[in-house]
Amino acid sequence: MGNQTKVNSILESVSNTAIGLVTTLLFSPFIYNMVGMVYTYGQLGLVTVLFTLLSIVRGYIIRRFFNKKPN
């Protein structure tokens, strides 16, 4: 296997995280209601966006770390 370019690393991270974003937007209201949390849709959106950005950065850093690691 060859090394992945930085552009491909960020594209993979964003794609993976986009799937997580949709999943979170669909299931968060159900989960929050199950545990009795009160929220507004603005709060739900903000929290989702912040965790999504963190996930993109995390995924990129992990991918680059393993890409530089010798076989």
pLDDT in tens, 22-52: 888 889 899 999 999 999 989 988 888 888 8
Q: For 1-71, where are the E strands, in sequence order?
A: none
Does residue 9 register a pLDDT over 60? yes
Does residue 11 register a pLDDT over 70? yes
* pLDDT value of position 25: 85
Does residue 4 register a pLDDT over 50? yes
* pLDDT value of position 35: 96
From first CA to last CA, the distance across the chain in angstroms is 10
CA distances from 39 to 8, 26, 29, 44, 54 (A): 36, 15, 9, 7, 21
Q: Locate 33 and state its tokens.
A: 């209601």
Q: Does pTM surpass 0.75?
A: no
Q: Which amino acid appears at position 20 of this protein?
A: G
* pLDDT value of position 16: 84
Q: Which residues contact 58 (CB under 8 A, 6 or more apart)?
A: none
